[in-house]
Amino acid sequence: MNKPSIMNQNQTLLERIKKSIISLFTTRKGKRNLWGYAFVLPALILFTSFTVIPIILSLSLSVTNMRGINMTDLTVVGLRNYKYIFEVDPYFWVSMKNIAIYTAITVPLTLSGSMILALIIKKPIAGTKFFRGLFYLPGITSGVATAMVWSYLLNGNGIINNAIMNFNELFNTDFTKILMNDTRTALWGLILMTLWGGLGGNMVLFLAGMNAIPTSIYEAADIDGANKRQKFFRITVPMMKPSIYFALTLSLIGSPQMFEPILIMDARTTTPVYEIYKNALRGGLGVGLASAQSVLLFVFIMMITVIMQKVNKESNI
């Protein structure tokens, strides 16, 4: 009794699929949907090829002993790579410490500096359009070009280090040069470069958020006798919460992915992505370990994203 019933259900399902496919090519709605699928398909292929498949491969390789591209001796080692990271590997956690310091300094300073710039640029004074483009220019400059310029600025006789030496001589101080080939100062060079390059992008975002606030609210506040400080903290900041949370989220998930400047500037410091690159491609401890590190970094970034979404949702209740 069950067998014919299952066969009938399968035939019904096949008939529905057949009708759906026919309607896709014959009906007006189906043709419209087909064009939509055609336009989405290239982006879907790229997303699958460069996001979904790499994630699956990373998860798969993280439980193997793969080294380089040689797969003849490839074996499954279970959680051994993760155990090594948590119990033995010192470099990955040093890189996490570096990125924590980097994030704790760059994110607050970048966001607050961008907010100040947006407040200044928003004023209808002569030259604001020029300065908007000038401040935004570092944000759209190639990362490679930016790293090359800052590598020149931070070498032994670069402009910044010469300024530090002159300052020391003038005020009898003892500030250390910021050198990328010095483990003590390389991270600070990356921080300076990020502060310079990160102000413009967030400035434009905050400026858009400010311009979206109705002027009638500020006019009502003026009638009530509110000063500039009160208007900023009680009107501007609350009304800009979506923009602020968006910029904060992007900054928090972008900071752990710092990589290109370290490679280009040959900085004597490390970050999680640089450790992954070093283990996978520079004769490190292998692709398997690098994949495990990338999985942990992915989980860490996802945790930040989920927390920020939850905080944003609760603040809007």
Tell whether 57 and 94 lie within a shared domain. Answer: no
Residue that the structure tokens 């002027």 belong to: 215
267, part of any domain: yes
The whole model's pTM is what? 0.83
In Å, how far are 219, 220, 221, 224 from 216, measured between CA atoms?
5, 6, 9, 12
Name every residue whose Cβ is closer than 8 Å to that of residue 147 and which is 6 or more positions away in sequence. Answer: 193, 260, 261, 264, 265
Say if CB 88 and CB 170 are below 8 A apart: no
Tell whether 119 and 183 lie within a shared domain. Answer: yes
Question: What is the rounded distance in angstroms from the CA atom of residue 217 to the CA atom of residue 257?
Answer: 40
**Tell me, what's the pLDDT at 37?**
79
Burial class (CB in 10 A: 0-12, 13-18, 19+), 114: buried
Say if CB 24 and CB 33 are below 8 A apart: yes
Question: What is the rounded distance in angstroms from the CA atom of residue 270 to the CA atom of residue 97?
Answer: 10
66, part of any domain: no
Tell whether 15 and 164 lie within a shared domain. Answer: no
- Short-list 152, 198, 208, CA closest to 178: 152
Tell whether 136 and 251 lie within a shared domain. Answer: yes
78, part of any domain: no
For residue 64, which phi and psi values (nearest 5 degrees)? -120, 175
Tell whether 279 and 147 lie within a shared domain. Answer: yes
251, part of any domain: yes
**Tell me, what's the pLDDT at 292?**
93
Average pLDDT by stretches of 10, the chain with 317 residues: 55 69 65 78 92 90 82 82 90 93 94 90 77 82 87 87 90 88 90 89 89 89 89 90 90 90 90 91 82 93 89 72
Tell whether 42 and 104 lie within a shared domain. Answer: no
Residue 163, domain extent: 89-315
Tell whether 173 and 281 lie within a shared domain. Answer: yes
Tell whether 163 and 230 lie within a shared domain. Answer: yes
**Could you tell me the end-to-end alpha-carbon distance of the chain, in angstroms, rounded to an integer?**
55
Tell whether 300 and 199 lie within a shared domain. Answer: yes
80, part of any domain: no
Residue 247: CATH number of its domain: 1.10.3720.10
Domain count for the chain: 2
234, part of any domain: yes
DSSP secondary structure letter of residue 285: S
Question: What is the rounded distance in angstroms from the CA atom of residue 37 to the CA atom of residue 35?
Answer: 5
Say if CB 203 and CB 176 are below 8 A apart: no
**Tell me, what's the pLDDT at 1?**
47
Name every residue whose Cβ is closer than 8 Å to that of residue 102 and which is 6 or more positions away in sequence. Answer: 187, 190, 191, 194, 255, 258, 271
Q: How many CB atoms lie within 10 A of CB 190?
A: 24
71, part of any domain: no
Residue that the structure tokens 């970094």 belong to: 297
Residue that the structure tokens 């009304």 belong to: 239
Say if CB 304 and CB 251 are below 8 A apart: no
Tell whether 48 and 105 lie within a shared domain. Answer: no
75, part of any domain: no
CA gyration radius, the chain: 27
3-state helix/strand/coil string of 123-140: CCCCCHHHHHHHHHHHHH
